[in-house]
Amino acid sequence: MATLLVSHPASTRHEAPRGHPERVERILAVERALADPAFDKLVRREAPKATSLDLERCHTAAYIARLHALSPHDDEGLVALDPDTSMSTGTLEAALRGVGGALLAVDEVMAGHVDNAFVATRPPGHHAEPSTAMGFCFFNQAAIAARHAQARHGVGRVAIMDFDVHHGNGTQAIFWSDPSVLYASTHEMPLYPGTGGRDETGEAGTIVNAPLRAGDDGAAFRAAMETLVLPRLRSFSPDLLIVSAGFDAHRLDPLANLNLVEADFAWATERLAEVAEATAGGRLVAVLEGGYDLEALAGSVARHVGALMAAGA
């Protein structure tokens, strides 16, 4: 079978303030990398819009209505929700298609049409809490995708592995008391948003945090994966694995202080694909989160998607 790539031009219409790291050029760098002939065998689909019903699996109706009400018109410029997170005229559609793309990826993987999938959209999502936008994020596409898999496809256990350098506080909050979803994260600590300590394990013991320290390199990251994350994923035995694929732990990234390189992301993807193969028939959906150095982002995404393609070959 094959690997699915989901994207949409709306990702280029979410604008941020001048100088903001979560900028349009991020997705353009990803698109250029995946236009290489090495990726000609990808199955490419455009992301549909998510519905309010989809969003309400993880976000409150009042919050969804508030974002719709705040969405600016053409002559209104940007609307700041917090110092880091702003809406432009194109933000709402981009965020809705990011979620819709993740749901499409789940549908295609669960139907057996593809082995795995990568959703290349922006803005990211893992900081978004049930009623709060923050950290460049509006809707938590990884979390909504997990709930969609359970509601639409009858999936029992879903695992979400997040290797973005910033802890996914939103995903953790959504699944804090849910024994059917395992959330595992490697991240730099202390760093925004300040959550993600080893002692944060959730009411059901299904939160696994493996914090790293400033200056840690690929060896420390791989050790955390091998000693903490991968054993818990295997023992949880998910029916679907979702990856919050952020690439800002790269040594060149301006927003953090870890020293990973492209080969580390490829290695992690290979190990996660092995878990998915062993427990979930290979079913894996990855969604783009952070990554703010354009060269590092492009190279890391290329290695990540290449590893997904190899896993499905």
Residue 76 pLDDT: 76
pLDDT (tens digit per residue) in 215-252: 999 999 999 999 999 999 999 999 999 999 999 999 99
% of residues, the chain, pLDDT over 90 = 97
pLDDT (tens digit per residue) in 258-307: 999 999 999 999 999 999 999 999 999 999 999 999 999 999 999 999 99
Residue 1 pLDDT: 80
What is the per-residue DSSP string for the chain? --EEEEE-GGGGG----TT-SS-HHHHHHHHHHHTSGGGTTSEEEEPPPPPHHHHTTTS-HHHHHHHHHH---TTS--EEEETTEEE-TTHHHHHHHHHHHHHHHHHHHHTTSSSEEEE--SS--TT-BTTB-BTTBSS-HHHHHHHHHHHHH----EEEEE-SSS--HHHHHHTTT-TTEEEEEEEESS-TT----TT---TTS-EEEEEE-TT-BHHHHHHHIIIIIHHHHHHH--SEEEEEE--TTBTT-TT---BB-HHHHHHHHHHHHHHHHHHHTT-EEEEE----SHHHHHHHHHHHHHHHHHHH-
pLDDT (tens digit per residue) in 64-102: 999 999 999 877 789 999 999 999 999 999 999 999 999
Q: Which active-site residues does the annotation give?
A: 127
Average pLDDT over residues 123-130: 98
Average pLDDT over residues 151-164: 98
Structural domains present in the chain: 3-312 (3.40.800.20)
Inform me whether the pLDDT recorded for 313 exceeds 80: no
